[in-house]
């Protein structure tokens, strides 16, 4: 007779029943928390204190009334009223022991919560300009977004992952120009390479490949390329724009090829990078299609119909100040080209049209000022802006040799996500990225990540998983035989602590989904692994007592399931074996260690 509800859900129902005698209780949610101190029981309920004021009675007195009408349960050992009016509940061991069997029965479904109720949610993340390799800042957005998407899916949402491709606009033109200038130099047409163009080696590589494929088909005289272009020192941006205009004129229809080649190369590179990082998208949505399909025209017309657009200085402005923005914003420039903002309005209206109940954008914290603008435009267009949630992810600041490293894509001086993955591994990178709250700045110390990768908490968790695999493998039996065992043999404090932790998983997933906080999964897994290691250190699993052995194996099999499920949510692998690479101290390290010792001995 295995119950299907968790101990907490069971108790919540009991308290709901007990509280229903008070009319006011309908507005109060039953909160059961796990006390920090074991002497306060398995759960503590503060409902008496919540009700006390409205009832104008002493909280301890209210607690008495609640307890008097609390239905009898075979899981409850005893209850007590403590402190200012807490009701502490002590459960019988069987309440927790059942958790192991419940977990094994649920299998991969364990931890699912009803939060999402099958609602469709779209999550858009990364969406980096395809103008160069992804860097460590994009990595954080990728790891956060992918983990959050997994968490939402496990919490019962139907999740759609999308990448918005900024394939229109000036930045892409600058990349195309940069590539073309490098290409021209291959035919000895030397145009001074602008300092504010894309400097990275990947640009030259693309030029090489175009030259290899098509020879001098796109070659033009350098003198014509720089003709009538603004001075590079006094007007660097105007200089770039002049070069772009000349490139478009001189190349004619061929410009689209150079532009398209650069786009495809960079987008493909980013896609491969992300795929290797375990970050997969359902849709890659092209900004250009918004322009070409007339969706932006439509969106702006929609705003015009609601009288939120006016003309000034030859441009069209959206009156965003009417929606809480600090100033009005241009949607159609004087030159007749829509702004990025205009495209984004159309894009978000399109998201809503596609029938998502909820839309989540993962943006870098530098975009925070942009939120009110987009939401304002959605409201202005008659859409429900509350269906859009923007999750801001603070910067990942990179440190190398203790110094903040430059992160500029144009200057080409940055560490790529690919480099980072190669150095610390995908698992450590994914885990490290989500180990901080998203609204916390992340100091990513490369040297530390590299030199101490063996101390990374991800290994601690993976090791717990590997240990279980090792034991179950040595046992050699089938996991199915562990679903129906005499679980009452689990009575050690460490075993019960582990069971309690396993029981928390569903609430953890639920809270992580609700708060858009995948980091709490990472912290939960650390705690879970710690409990497992504790049991491992105190209990022998493969003992002669057959019933005890099966009970303990059942416990660790359930633990393995939760570890696996949780790690999968974070995109981290769950290895069955951990093999340590014996690192021999290099001569420099040995020297450094020696000199450090000498320094200390001088004190």
Decide whether 220 or 519 has the Cβ nearer to RNA.
Answer: 519
Cα–Cα nearest to 18, from 45, 55, 57: 45
Closest by CA to 198, choosing from 294, 288, 133, is: 133
Which of 254/515 has CB closer to RNA? 515
Asked if 83 touches RNA (CB under 7 A), the answer is yes
Q: How far is the CB of 56 from RNA (least distance, A)?
A: 10
Paired strand residues for 164: 285
**Binds RNA by CB under 7 A, chosen from 25, 136, 172, 359:** 172
Q: Smallest distance, Å, CB 222 to RNA? A: 26
Q: Cβ closer to RNA: 99 or 434?
A: 434
Looking at beta carbons only, is 77 or 357 nearer to RNA? 77
- The distance of closest approach from Cβ of residue 253 to RNA in the complex, given in angstroms and rounded to an integer, is 22
Candidate list 21, 58, 470, 594; residue touching RNA; CB under 7 A = 470
Burial 479-503 (b: 16+ CB within 10 A, else e): beebbebebebbeeebbbbbbbbbb
Question: In whole angstroms, what is the distance from residue 492 CA to residue 488 CA?
Answer: 11
Note whether 540 binds RNA by CB under 7 A: yes
Choose the stretch contacting RNA; rule: CB under 7 A; options: 9-17, 77-85, 262-270, 557-565: 77-85
Residues numbered 357 to 416 that lie near RNA (CB under 7 A) are 365-370, 392, 394-395, 397
- Kindly state the tokens that stand for 478: 């089938």
329's enclosing H/E stretch is: strand 329-332
258-287 binders of RNA (CB under 7 A): 287
d(CA 563, CA 574): 8
Residue corresponding to tokens 């439509």: 298
Q: Which of 336, 168, 181 is nearest to 250 (CA)?
A: 181
Closest CA to 344 of 355, 358, 329: 329
Interaction of residue 171 with RNA, rule CB under 7 A: yes
Q: Which two tokens stand for residue 126?
A: 């990364």
For the CB of residue 475, give the shortest distance to RNA in the complex, in Å.
8
The 554-573 site mask, x for binding RNA (CB under 7 A), equals: --------------------
Q: Which stretch binds RNA (CB under 7 A): 151-159, 242-250, 345-353, 529-537?
A: 529-537
How many alpha carbons lie under 13 Å from residue 386 in its C-beta half-sphere?
A: 0
- Choosing from 76, 149, 203, 471, the residue that interacts with RNA (CB under 7 A) is 471
Stretch that binds RNA, among 14-22, 249-257, 337-345, 586-594 (CB under 7 A): 337-345
- Residue 317 φ then ψ, to 5°: -115, 145
Tell me which stretch binds RNA (CB under 7 A): 36-44, 64-72, 190-198, 483-491. Answer: 36-44
What is the rounded CA–CA span in Å between residue 140 and residue 364?
A: 9
Measured from the CB of residue 34, what is the shortest distance to RNA in angstroms? 9
The span of 32-40, 115-123, 301-309, 376-384 binding RNA (CB under 7 A) equals: 32-40
Interior angle at CA 224, CA 218 and CA 227, nearest 5: 140
Q: What does the block give as tokens for 85?
A: 């009016």
Q: How far is CA 1 from CA 9, 98, 310, 484, 497, in A?
A: 17, 10, 70, 11, 23
Contact between 202 and RNA per CB under 7 A: no
What is the per-residue binding string for RNA in 94-133, x denoting contact by CB under 7 A? -----------------------------------x----
CA distances from residue 352 to 77, 309, 349, 552 in whole angstroms, order as listed? 51, 21, 5, 50
Give alpha helix (H) positions in 356-413.
Answer: 368-380
DSSP label of 357: S
In the region spanning residues 44 to 73, those forming contacts with RNA, defined by CB under 7 A, are 44, 46, 49-50, 53, 59
- Report residue 52 as tokens: 């006390």
- Residue closer to RNA by CB (options 273, 287) is 287
Q: Judged by CB under 7 A, how many residues of this single chain contact RNA?
A: 90
Judged by CB under 7 A, which of 74, 109, 208, 439 binds RNA? 439
Q: How far apart are CA 346 and CA 341, in angstroms?
A: 9
DSSP 8-state class, residue 583: P
Q: For residue 469, what are the contacts with CB-CB under 8 A and spacing of at least 6?
A: 560, 576, 577
Instruction: State the Cα angle at 143 between 142 and 146, rounded to 5°.
Output: 80
Instruction: Establish if 257 lies at the interface with RNA (CB under 7 A).
Output: no
User: Under the criterion CB under 7 A, does residue 88 sit at the interface with RNA?
Assistant: yes
Indicate which single residue of 65, 533, 564, 568 sits in contact with RNA (rule: CB under 7 A).
Answer: 533
Out of 217, 249, 301, 333, name the contact with RNA by CB under 7 A: 333
> 330 vs 568, which CB is nearer to RNA?
330
Would you state the structure tokens that stand for residue 262, as one six-digit string? 């650069």
Q: Determine if 466 is a binding residue for RNA (CB under 7 A).
A: yes
Candidate segments 164-172, 198-206, 377-385, 588-596, binder of RNA by CB under 7 A: 164-172
Among 26, 455, 481, 545, binds RNA (CB under 7 A): 455
Site for RNA in 507-526 (CB under 7 A): 517, 519-520, 523, 526
Determine if 437 is a binding residue for RNA (CB under 7 A).
yes
Among 233, 313, 584, 601, binds RNA (CB under 7 A): 313
Residues 574-593 touching RNA, rule: CB under 7 A, are 577-581
Q: Is 340 in the site for RNA (CB under 7 A)?
A: yes
Q: Should residue 467 be labelled a site residue for RNA when binding is judged by CB under 7 A?
A: yes
Closest CA to 465 of 529, 387, 401: 529
């Amino acid at each position: 007779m295995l119950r299907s509800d968790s101990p907490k859900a069971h108790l919540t129902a009991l308290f709901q029943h007990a509280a229903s005698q008070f009319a006011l209780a309908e507005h109060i949610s039953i909160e059961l928390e796990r006390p920090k101190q074991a002497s306060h029981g398995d759960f503590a309920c503060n409902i008496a204190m919540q009700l006390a004021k409205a009832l104008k009675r002493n909280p301890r007195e209210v607690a008495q009334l609640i307890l008097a009408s609390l239905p009898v349960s075979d899981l409850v050992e005893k209850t007590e009223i403590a402190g200012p009016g807490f009701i502490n509940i002590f459960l019988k061991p069987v309440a927790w022991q059942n958790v192991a069997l419940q977990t094994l029965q649920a299998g991969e479904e364990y931890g699912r919560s009803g939060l999402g109720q099958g609602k469709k949610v779209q999550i858009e993340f990364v969406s980096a300009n395809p103008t160069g390799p992804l860097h460590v800042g994009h990595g954080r957005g990728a790891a956060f977004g992918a983990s959050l998407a997994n968490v939402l899916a496990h919490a019962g949402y139907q999740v759609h992952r999308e990448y918005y491709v900024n394939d229109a606009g000036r930045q892409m033109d600058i990349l195309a120009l940069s590539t073309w200038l490098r290409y021209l130099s291959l035919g000895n047409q030397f145009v001074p390479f602008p300092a504010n163009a894309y400097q990275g080696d990947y640009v030259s590589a693309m030029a090489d490949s175009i030259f290899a494929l098509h020879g001098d088909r796109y070659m033009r005289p350098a003198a014509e390329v720089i003709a009538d272009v603004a001075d590079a020192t006094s007007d660097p941006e105007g200089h770039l724009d002049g070069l772009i205009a000349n490139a478009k004129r001189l190349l004619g229809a061929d410009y689209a090829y150079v532009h398209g080649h650069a786009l495809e190369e960079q987008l493909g590179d980013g896609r491969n990078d992300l795929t290797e990082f375990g970050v997969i998208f359902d849709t890659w949505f092209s900004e250009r299609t918004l322009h070409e399909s007339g969706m932006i025209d439509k969106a702006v017309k929609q705003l015009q119909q609601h009288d939120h657009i006016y003309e000034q200085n030859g441009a069209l402005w959206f009156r965003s100040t009417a929606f809480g923005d600090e100033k009005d914003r241009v949607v159609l420039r004087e030159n007749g080209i829509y702004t990025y903002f205009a495209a984004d309005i159309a894009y978000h209206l399109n998201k809503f049209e596609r029938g998502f109940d909820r839309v989540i954008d993962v943006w870098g914290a530098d975009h925070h000022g942009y939120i009110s603008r987009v939401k304002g435009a959605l409201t202005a267009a008659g859409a429900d802006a509350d269906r859009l949630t923007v999750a801001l992810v603070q910067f990942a600041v990179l440190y190398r040799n203790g110094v903040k490293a430059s992160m500029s894509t144009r200057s080409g001086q940055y560490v790529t996500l690919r480099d980072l993955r190669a150095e610390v591994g995908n698992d450590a990178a994914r885990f490290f990225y989500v180990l901080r709250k998203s609204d916390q700045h992340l100091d990513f110390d490369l040297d530390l990540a590299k030199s101490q990768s063996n101390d990374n908490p991800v290994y601690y968790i993976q090791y717990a998983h590997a240990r279980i695999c090792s034991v179950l493998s040595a046992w050699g039996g089938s996991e199915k035989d562990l679903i129906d065992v005499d679980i009452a043999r689990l009575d050690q404090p460490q075993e019960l602590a582990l069971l309690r932790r396993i029981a928390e998983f569903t609430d953890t997933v639920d809270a992580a989904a609700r708060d858009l906080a995948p980091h709490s999964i990472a912290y939960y897994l650390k705690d879970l692994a710690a409990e497992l290691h504790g049991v491992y250190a105190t209990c022998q699993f493969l003992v002669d007592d057959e019933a005890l052995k099966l009970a303990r194996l059942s416990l660790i099999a359930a633990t393995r399931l939760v570890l696996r499920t949780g790690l999968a949510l974070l995109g981290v692998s769950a290895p069955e074996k951990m093999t340590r690479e014996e690192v021999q101290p290099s001569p420099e390290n040995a020297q450094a260690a020696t000199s450090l010792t000498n320094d200390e001995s001088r004190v």
